[in-house]
Protein backbone atom coordinates (compact mmCIF):
# COMPACT_ATOMS: atom_id res chain seq x y z
CA UNK A 1 0.00 0.00 0.00
CA UNK A 2 1.19 3.50 -0.83
CA UNK A 3 0.61 4.89 2.64
CA UNK A 4 2.68 2.09 4.17
CA UNK A 5 5.63 3.37 2.14
CA UNK A 6 8.15 5.21 4.34
CA UNK A 7 8.61 8.13 1.96
CA UNK A 8 4.88 8.73 1.74
CA UNK A 9 4.48 8.48 5.52
CA UNK A 10 7.06 11.21 5.91
CA UNK A 11 5.46 13.27 3.13
CA UNK A 12 1.95 13.26 4.61
CA UNK A 13 2.70 13.02 8.33
CA UNK A 14 5.96 14.92 8.54
CA UNK A 15 7.84 11.99 10.10
CA UNK A 16 8.08 8.20 9.96
CA UNK A 17 5.37 7.15 12.43
CA UNK A 18 5.88 3.38 12.25
CA UNK A 19 7.00 2.88 15.85
CA UNK A 20 4.86 5.73 17.13
CA UNK A 21 1.85 3.97 15.63
CA UNK A 22 2.79 0.54 17.06
CA UNK A 23 3.42 1.90 20.56
CA UNK A 24 0.38 4.15 20.37
CA UNK A 25 -1.96 1.31 19.46
CA UNK A 26 -0.58 -0.84 22.29
CA UNK A 27 -0.97 1.99 24.85
CA UNK A 28 -4.47 2.77 23.58
CA UNK A 29 -5.48 -0.90 23.73
CA UNK A 30 -4.30 -1.32 27.33
CA UNK A 31 -6.00 1.97 28.27
CA UNK A 32 -9.28 0.86 26.70
CA UNK A 33 -9.07 -2.53 28.37
CA UNK A 34 -8.33 -0.95 31.75
CA UNK A 35 -11.24 1.49 31.44
CA UNK A 36 -13.89 -0.87 30.14
CA UNK A 37 -12.91 -4.48 30.76
CA UNK A 38 -9.93 -4.67 33.13
CA UNK A 39 -9.07 -8.10 31.74
CA UNK A 40 -5.83 -8.39 33.72
CA UNK A 41 -7.33 -7.23 37.01
CA UNK A 42 -10.35 -9.52 37.43
CA UNK A 43 -8.59 -12.76 38.36
CA UNK A 44 -9.20 -14.17 34.90
CA UNK A 45 -7.02 -16.87 33.44
CA UNK A 46 -4.17 -15.57 31.30
CA UNK A 47 -5.85 -16.88 28.14
CA UNK A 48 -9.16 -15.16 28.94
CA UNK A 49 -7.36 -11.96 29.94
CA UNK A 50 -5.45 -11.95 26.65
CA UNK A 51 -8.69 -12.61 24.73
CA UNK A 52 -10.38 -9.72 26.56
CA UNK A 53 -7.44 -7.43 25.85
CA UNK A 54 -7.38 -8.59 22.20
CA UNK A 55 -10.84 -7.09 21.74
CA UNK A 56 -9.48 -3.73 22.91
CA UNK A 57 -6.45 -4.23 20.64
CA UNK A 58 -8.76 -4.93 17.70
CA UNK A 59 -10.75 -1.73 18.27
CA UNK A 60 -7.63 0.35 19.01
CA UNK A 61 -6.01 -0.73 15.75
CA UNK A 62 -9.24 -0.08 13.88
CA UNK A 63 -9.67 3.37 15.48
CA UNK A 64 -6.06 4.37 14.92
CA UNK A 65 -5.82 3.34 11.26
CA UNK A 66 -9.14 4.94 10.32
CA UNK A 67 -8.38 8.18 12.19
CA UNK A 68 -4.89 8.26 10.74
CA UNK A 69 -6.31 7.66 7.26
CA UNK A 70 -8.74 10.57 7.69
CA UNK A 71 -5.87 12.74 8.92
CA UNK A 72 -3.79 11.92 5.85
CA UNK A 73 -6.68 12.67 3.51
CA UNK A 74 -7.06 16.14 4.99
CA UNK A 75 -3.31 16.65 4.80
CA UNK A 76 -3.55 15.98 1.07
CA UNK A 77 -6.51 18.34 0.67
CA UNK A 78 -5.15 21.16 2.90
CA UNK A 79 -1.35 20.86 3.09
CA UNK A 80 -0.49 24.52 3.77
CA UNK A 81 -0.07 26.19 7.16
CA UNK A 82 -2.65 28.82 6.29
CA UNK A 83 -5.24 26.02 5.96
CA UNK A 84 -4.54 24.61 9.44
CA UNK A 85 -7.75 25.85 11.05
CA UNK A 86 -9.90 24.51 8.24
CA UNK A 87 -8.03 21.19 8.20
CA UNK A 88 -8.24 20.66 11.98
CA UNK A 89 -11.92 21.65 12.19
CA UNK A 90 -13.03 19.35 9.40
CA UNK A 91 -10.77 16.58 10.64
CA UNK A 92 -12.30 16.74 14.13
CA UNK A 93 -15.86 16.50 12.77
CA UNK A 94 -15.06 13.67 10.38
CA UNK A 95 -12.92 11.89 12.98
CA UNK A 96 -15.70 11.82 15.60
CA UNK A 97 -18.20 10.58 13.02
CA UNK A 98 -15.73 7.95 11.80
CA UNK A 99 -15.07 6.66 15.32
CA UNK A 100 -18.77 6.10 15.94
CA UNK A 101 -19.02 4.34 12.60
CA UNK A 102 -15.90 2.27 13.27
CA UNK A 103 -17.19 1.27 16.70
CA UNK A 104 -20.56 0.28 15.25
CA UNK A 105 -19.04 -1.76 12.41
CA UNK A 106 -16.37 -3.28 14.66
CA UNK A 107 -18.95 -4.34 17.25
CA UNK A 108 -21.08 -5.97 14.56
CA UNK A 109 -18.06 -7.86 13.28
CA UNK A 110 -17.21 -9.08 16.79
CA UNK A 111 -20.86 -9.99 17.41
CA UNK A 112 -20.79 -12.26 14.41
CA UNK A 113 -17.28 -13.60 15.10
CA UNK A 114 -17.21 -14.29 18.85
CA UNK A 115 -20.75 -13.59 20.06
CA UNK A 116 -20.30 -10.13 21.69
CA UNK A 117 -23.70 -8.54 22.42
CA UNK A 118 -24.29 -5.13 20.79
CA UNK A 119 -25.87 -2.57 23.12
CA UNK A 120 -26.22 0.88 21.39
CA UNK A 121 -26.81 2.73 24.70
CA UNK A 122 -23.66 1.44 26.43
CA UNK A 123 -21.81 1.70 23.15
CA UNK A 124 -22.21 5.51 23.16
CA UNK A 125 -20.68 5.76 26.65
CA UNK A 126 -17.89 3.48 25.54
CA UNK A 127 -16.94 5.55 22.47
CA UNK A 128 -16.75 8.99 24.12
CA UNK A 129 -13.50 8.33 26.07
CA UNK A 130 -12.04 6.68 22.99
CA UNK A 131 -12.85 9.79 20.92
CA UNK A 132 -11.04 11.91 23.51
CA UNK A 133 -7.98 9.64 23.58
CA UNK A 134 -7.91 9.37 19.77
CA UNK A 135 -8.17 13.11 19.27
CA UNK A 136 -5.39 13.69 21.78
CA UNK A 137 -3.24 11.20 19.90
CA UNK A 138 -3.99 12.80 16.56
CA UNK A 139 -3.23 16.19 18.13
CA UNK A 140 0.32 14.90 18.57
CA UNK A 141 0.43 14.09 14.86
CA UNK A 142 -0.86 17.57 14.06
CA UNK A 143 1.60 19.28 16.41
CA UNK A 144 4.54 17.45 14.84
CA UNK A 145 3.26 18.23 11.34
CA UNK A 146 2.72 21.90 12.24
CA UNK A 147 6.21 22.17 13.75
CA UNK A 148 7.87 20.61 10.70
CA UNK A 149 5.85 22.75 8.27
CA UNK A 150 6.65 25.86 10.30
CA UNK A 151 10.37 25.08 10.22
CA UNK A 152 10.14 24.42 6.49
CA UNK A 153 8.31 27.71 5.95
CA UNK A 154 10.88 29.63 7.99
CA UNK A 155 13.72 27.94 6.11
CA UNK A 156 12.16 28.76 2.73
CA UNK A 157 11.58 32.36 3.80
CA UNK A 158 15.19 32.67 4.95
CA UNK A 159 16.41 31.18 1.67
CA UNK A 160 14.26 33.65 -0.26
CA UNK A 161 15.61 36.55 1.79
CA UNK A 162 19.16 35.31 1.28
CA UNK A 163 18.60 35.08 -2.46
CA UNK A 164 17.31 38.66 -2.53
CA UNK A 165 20.24 39.93 -0.46
CA UNK A 166 22.70 38.04 -2.66
CA UNK A 167 21.14 39.54 -5.78
CA UNK A 168 21.44 43.02 -4.27
CA UNK A 169 25.07 42.38 -3.32
CA UNK A 170 25.82 41.15 -6.84
CA UNK A 171 24.25 44.28 -8.32
CA UNK A 172 26.22 46.58 -5.99
CA UNK A 173 29.46 44.69 -6.56
CA UNK A 174 28.95 44.97 -10.31
CA UNK A 175 28.40 48.70 -9.80
CA UNK A 176 31.75 49.09 -8.06
CA UNK A 177 33.75 47.69 -10.96
CA UNK A 178 32.46 50.13 -13.61
CA UNK A 179 32.99 52.89 -11.01
CA UNK A 180 36.67 51.91 -10.85
CA UNK A 181 36.86 51.63 -14.64
CA UNK A 182 35.23 55.06 -15.10
CA UNK A 183 37.78 56.79 -12.84
CA UNK A 184 40.69 54.84 -14.31
CA UNK A 185 39.81 56.12 -17.78
CA UNK A 186 39.93 59.68 -16.43
CA UNK A 187 43.39 58.99 -15.04
CA UNK A 188 44.52 57.43 -18.33
CA UNK A 189 43.29 60.50 -20.21
CA UNK A 190 45.41 62.76 -17.99
CA UNK A 191 48.47 60.56 -18.49
CA UNK A 192 48.04 60.66 -22.27
CA UNK A 193 47.83 64.44 -22.09
CA UNK A 194 50.85 64.88 -19.83
CA UNK A 195 53.19 61.93 -20.47
CA UNK A 196 54.77 59.98 -23.28
CA UNK A 197 53.14 57.23 -25.27
CA UNK A 198 55.39 54.63 -23.63
CA UNK A 199 54.37 55.76 -20.15
CA UNK A 200 50.71 55.51 -21.15
CA UNK A 201 51.33 51.96 -22.41
CA UNK A 202 53.03 51.03 -19.13
CA UNK A 203 50.08 52.47 -17.23
CA UNK A 204 47.65 50.33 -19.28
CA UNK A 205 49.73 47.23 -18.52
CA UNK A 206 49.51 47.91 -14.80
CA UNK A 207 45.78 48.51 -15.08
CA UNK A 208 45.48 45.04 -16.60
CA UNK A 209 47.24 43.63 -13.51
CA UNK A 210 44.70 45.36 -11.27
CA UNK A 211 41.80 44.03 -13.31
CA UNK A 212 43.27 40.55 -13.11
CA UNK A 213 42.97 40.86 -9.33
CA UNK A 214 39.34 42.00 -9.69
CA UNK A 215 38.55 38.95 -11.82
CA UNK A 216 40.36 36.58 -9.47
CA UNK A 217 38.42 37.89 -6.47
CA UNK A 218 35.39 36.43 -8.20
CA UNK A 219 31.99 36.88 -6.62
CA UNK A 220 33.19 37.20 -3.03
CA UNK A 221 31.06 39.41 -0.78
CA UNK A 222 33.93 39.76 1.70
CA UNK A 223 37.68 39.63 1.29
CA UNK A 224 40.55 39.38 3.76
CA UNK A 225 42.17 42.68 4.72
CA UNK A 226 45.58 41.51 3.47
CA UNK A 227 44.19 40.86 -0.03
CA UNK A 228 42.32 44.16 -0.17
CA UNK A 229 45.46 46.03 0.96
CA UNK A 230 47.52 44.26 -1.71
CA UNK A 231 45.00 45.38 -4.30
CA UNK A 232 44.89 48.93 -2.90
CA UNK A 233 48.69 49.20 -2.90
CA UNK A 234 48.77 48.13 -6.55
CA UNK A 235 46.28 50.87 -7.29
CA UNK A 236 48.34 53.46 -5.35
CA UNK A 237 51.45 52.34 -7.24
CA UNK A 238 49.69 53.17 -10.50
CA UNK A 239 48.61 56.57 -9.18
CA UNK A 240 52.08 57.32 -7.82
CA UNK A 241 53.46 57.16 -11.38
CA UNK A 242 51.08 59.95 -12.24
CA UNK A 243 51.44 62.13 -9.15
CA UNK A 244 54.92 61.26 -7.92
CA UNK A 245 55.66 62.73 -4.51
CA UNK A 246 52.32 64.54 -4.61
CA UNK A 247 50.62 61.38 -3.34
CA UNK A 248 51.67 59.99 0.03
CA UNK A 249 49.93 57.06 1.73
CA UNK A 250 50.76 55.97 5.28
CA UNK A 251 49.82 52.37 6.18
CA UNK A 252 49.31 51.49 9.86
CA UNK A 253 48.01 47.92 9.71
CA UNK A 254 48.66 45.54 12.65
CA UNK A 255 49.72 42.08 11.52
CA UNK A 256 47.01 40.35 13.56
CA UNK A 257 44.26 42.22 11.70
CA UNK A 258 45.25 41.03 8.22
CA UNK A 259 42.96 38.00 8.35
CA UNK A 260 39.88 40.06 9.18
CA UNK A 261 37.51 40.86 6.33
CA UNK A 262 36.05 43.88 4.55
CA UNK A 263 33.90 44.45 1.48
CA UNK A 264 35.96 43.96 -1.74
CA UNK A 265 37.26 47.14 -3.42
CA UNK A 266 36.02 49.28 -0.52
CA UNK A 267 39.50 50.50 0.48
CA UNK A 268 40.46 51.12 -3.13
CA UNK A 269 37.28 53.16 -3.73
CA UNK A 270 38.02 55.34 -0.69
CA UNK A 271 41.58 55.98 -1.87
CA UNK A 272 40.29 56.70 -5.34
CA UNK A 273 37.76 59.21 -4.01
CA UNK A 274 40.39 61.00 -1.96
CA UNK A 275 42.63 61.38 -5.02
CA UNK A 276 39.76 62.37 -7.27
CA UNK A 277 38.27 65.13 -5.14
CA UNK A 278 41.39 66.71 -3.62
CA UNK A 279 44.41 68.64 -4.90
CA UNK A 280 47.38 66.32 -5.50
CA UNK A 281 50.70 67.94 -6.39
CA UNK A 282 54.37 67.81 -5.30
CA UNK A 283 54.07 71.35 -3.94
CA UNK A 284 50.87 70.50 -2.06
CA UNK A 285 50.95 66.73 -1.46
CA UNK A 286 47.86 64.75 -0.55
CA UNK A 287 48.54 62.67 2.54
CA UNK A 288 46.28 59.71 3.17
CA UNK A 289 46.41 57.59 6.32
CA UNK A 290 45.10 54.04 6.38
CA UNK A 291 44.81 52.89 10.00
CA UNK A 292 43.30 49.93 11.78
CA UNK A 293 42.24 50.74 15.33
CA UNK A 294 40.49 48.01 17.31
CA UNK A 295 38.09 46.41 14.80
CA UNK A 296 37.81 49.38 12.46
CA UNK A 297 39.72 50.42 9.36
CA UNK A 298 39.98 54.19 8.84
CA UNK A 299 40.93 56.16 5.74
CA UNK A 300 41.83 59.77 6.61
CA UNK A 301 42.79 62.62 4.30
CA UNK A 302 42.93 66.39 4.64
CA UNK A 303 40.19 68.14 2.68
CA UNK A 304 41.80 70.14 -0.15
CA UNK A 305 39.05 70.48 -2.77
CA UNK A 306 39.97 71.02 -6.39
CA UNK A 307 39.04 74.33 -8.01
CA UNK A 308 37.29 72.53 -10.90
CA UNK A 309 34.63 69.86 -10.55
CA UNK A 310 35.60 66.36 -11.62
CA UNK A 311 33.02 64.10 -13.32
CA UNK A 312 31.61 61.67 -10.75
CA UNK A 313 29.29 58.67 -10.68
CA UNK A 314 28.37 59.61 -7.08
CA UNK A 315 28.22 55.98 -6.01
CA UNK A 316 31.52 55.28 -4.23
CA UNK A 317 30.83 55.56 -0.49
CA UNK A 318 27.11 54.97 -1.03
CA UNK A 319 27.93 51.66 -2.73
CA UNK A 320 30.16 50.60 0.17
CA UNK A 321 27.49 51.50 2.74
CA UNK A 322 24.82 49.52 0.90
CA UNK A 323 27.01 46.43 0.60
CA UNK A 324 27.92 46.55 4.28
CA UNK A 325 24.25 47.04 5.23
CA UNK A 326 23.33 43.81 3.44
CA UNK A 327 25.96 41.83 5.38
CA UNK A 328 26.11 43.37 8.85
CA UNK A 329 24.40 45.78 11.21
CA UNK A 330 27.72 47.56 11.80
CA UNK A 331 27.77 50.97 10.17
CA UNK A 332 30.14 52.59 7.71
CA UNK A 333 30.84 56.12 8.95
CA UNK A 334 31.85 59.05 6.75
CA UNK A 335 32.46 62.33 8.56
CA UNK A 336 34.49 65.53 8.63
CA UNK A 337 36.86 66.09 11.57
CA UNK A 338 38.94 69.27 11.79
CA UNK A 339 39.38 69.74 8.01
CA UNK A 340 39.93 66.00 7.57
CA UNK A 341 37.61 63.56 5.85
CA UNK A 342 37.40 60.27 7.76
CA UNK A 343 35.71 57.08 6.57
CA UNK A 344 35.50 54.16 9.00
CA UNK A 345 34.90 50.60 7.83
CA UNK A 346 34.05 47.89 10.37
CA UNK A 347 36.20 44.79 10.21
CA UNK A 348 34.22 41.57 9.88
CA UNK A 349 34.91 37.85 9.60
CA UNK A 350 34.53 35.79 6.45
CA UNK A 351 31.69 33.93 8.19
CA UNK A 352 29.65 37.13 7.96
CA UNK A 353 29.30 36.74 4.19
CA UNK A 354 25.90 35.81 2.78
CA UNK A 355 25.79 32.13 1.88
Q: What confidence tens digit (pLDDT) does each residue in 2-45 have?
A: 445 667 667 767 777 778 888 888 888 887 778 777 788 777 78
Tens digit of pLDDT for each residue in 317-333? 888 888 888 888 899 99
Q: Could you tell me which residue, 351 or 159, shows the higher pLDDT?
A: 351
Helical residues (DSSP H) of 78-196, grouped into ranges: 84-114, 120-194
Tens digit of pLDDT for each residue in 236-286? 877 887 788 899 999 999 999 999 999 888 898 899 889 888 999 888 899
Residue 217: the pLDDT is 63
Residue 1: the pLDDT is 47
At a CB cut-off of 8 Å and minimum separation 6, what does 297 contact? 225, 262, 267, 290, 291, 344, 345, 346, 347
Average confidence score pLDDT of the chain:
77
Q: Answer yes or no: are the C-beta atoms of 249 and 237 closer than 8 Å.
A: no
pTM: 0.51
Q: Answer yes or no: are the C-beta atoms of 297 and 225 closer than 8 Å.
A: yes
Class of residue 199 by CB neighbours under 10 A (exposed 0-12, middle 13-18, buried 19+): middle
Residue 116: the pLDDT is 54
Q: Whats the size of the chain, residue-wise?
A: 355
Of 44, 100, 18, the residue nearest 67 (C-alpha): 100
Amino acid sequence: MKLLNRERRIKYLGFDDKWFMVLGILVLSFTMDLLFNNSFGRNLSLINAVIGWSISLFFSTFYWLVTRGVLIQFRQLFPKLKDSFKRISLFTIVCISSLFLVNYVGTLILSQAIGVNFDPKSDFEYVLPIIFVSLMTMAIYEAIYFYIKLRQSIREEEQAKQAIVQAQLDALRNQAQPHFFFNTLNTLRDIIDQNTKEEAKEFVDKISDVYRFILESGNANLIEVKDEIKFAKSYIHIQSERFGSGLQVEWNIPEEKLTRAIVPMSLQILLENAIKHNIVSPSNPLKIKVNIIDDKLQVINKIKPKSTMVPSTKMGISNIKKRYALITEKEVLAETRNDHFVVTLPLLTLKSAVR
